[in-house]
Each structure stands twice: as structure tokens, then as C-alpha cells.
Amino acid sequence: MADYKTIVFFDLETTGLDTASCHITQLSAVCEDDEFNVYTLPRRPITAGASQLTGFTVYRGQLYLNGNHVRTMSLFSALKSFIKFLSYFRGPVLLAAHNAMEFDALVLTRLMQKRFFLRQRFQRVVSGFVDTLLLSRNLCPRYLNPGIKYSQKSLVSYFLGKSYDAHNALEDAKMLEELFNFWDPNSWDVADVTFPTEDWTD
């Protein structure tokens, strides 16, 4: 990754797919040997579809993953801890996620700004988001790879020949980093799919 800024790969699991209202149940990130992983008790009901995909349920005010109780922290504490984790890296940091522009970046920045006013603190350590979905389409156009599908799970299978626990945020972040390193994109490839955090300011 010497050609560009530090890239931290992250993923969210949420209560649903509505970026304007969903809450986070799991926030994870990796950068080489460093990992971040927290669970939060959402203040929105988890939709049936999200629960089926992720395994998260809420029962009597507690969060469960595949039937096992998990320890949670408040969303405010989780977001502050995430910013602190990111501040340890040489900055400014780029955050990479698969479909960042249509989902992860929207949810994360909405909660940073609308609920807790952490946007300025966040922007001091994060300069932008990298969308690896867009990167995959640029690097591997369908006309050259007719059978390719662009979900992260499919790309991991296609390029790395692996299966993994998809929709677990930590595993998703780990596999995204491995997939990115396999592609080994140059700085121009990355710049084409990088968007500054200012794009989400009011």
C-alpha cells in the first residue's frame, strides 16, 4: 500500500438496509495485523431480512448473535472508540468498504453527524472512503469476465477460491483486505473510487 495513504478496511452490520434510519449492530475494521470489532445494542428493531442474513437478534434488551449473547457498548462509545482506533494510523486514513458509497459511508457519517456530532473529529483522521465495489467493476469489467458477480462473497470465491462467514463484519473486513491485496491496484485505480468525507457534510 506504499503508493497511497493508509487504507483501513471496514464493514457494518445493521438493523436493515434503509440508510436513512438503520442502526449499527456490529462495526469492524482491519489494517494488516490491527483489528477493531464492537457490537452495539440498536435502538431500532432488526428487520427479519437483516436478522436472517447476519444472525443478530434482540431479546429482553440484549443482543444475540446466532443465539449467543454478545457484549455490547453504546453506539456513542463505539463510534468514539472507532475514531480512536483510526487515529493510531499514519493519516489521513482512507476507509474502504464494499459498496461504501451506497451504504456503509452513508450510515456511518449519518450517525457521526446527526446523532453525536462527531463529524469534525472523524474528519481529522479520515480523509475519504474507498468503494471496492466500484473498484472491482473497474478492474474486472463484465465484458472480460462474463460470469463474474460483484458481491464481495462472489468476488472472494472467484479470485481467492475461498468461502467465509459473510455478513460477519469482522470476517467481511478481513476478506476485503485480502481481496484488495490480491488485486494490488495502483494509486490511480484507488483514486478513481475514492470520495472525500466532505461529500457527506450538510
Beta carbons of 46 and 23 less than 8 angstroms apart = no
Residue 120 burial by Cβ neighbours in a 10 Å radius (0-12, 13-18, 19+): exposed
Q: Match 459473510 to its residue by C-alpha cell.
A: 166
CATH superfamily membership of 7-194: Ribonuclease H-like superfamily/Ribonuclease H (3.30.420.10)
Beta carbons of 122 and 197 less than 8 angstroms apart = yes
Q: Give the closest residue to 100 by CA, choosing from 130, 123, 126.
A: 130
Q: What per-residue confidence (pLDDT) applies to 4?
A: 61
Tens of pLDDT, residues 123-178: 999 999 999 999 999 999 988 888 899 999 999 999 999 999 899 999 999 999 99
42: left (phi > 0), else alpha (psi -120 to 50), else beta?
beta
Proportion of the chain above pLDDT 70, given as a percent: 96
Beta carbons of 149 and 136 less than 8 angstroms apart = no
Tens of pLDDT, residues 109-134: 999 987 678 988 999 999 999 999 99
Average pLDDT, the chain: 93
Cα-to-chain-centroid distance, residue 33: 17
Query: H-type helices in 156-196, by residue range?
Result: 169-183, 187-192
How many other CB atoms sit within 10 Å of the CB of residue 118? 17
Tens of pLDDT, residues 81-117: 999 999 999 878 999 999 999 999 999 999 998 767 8
Question: Residues with Cβ < 8 Å from 25, sequence gap 6 or more?
Answer: 13, 14, 15, 39, 40, 42, 46, 54, 56, 63
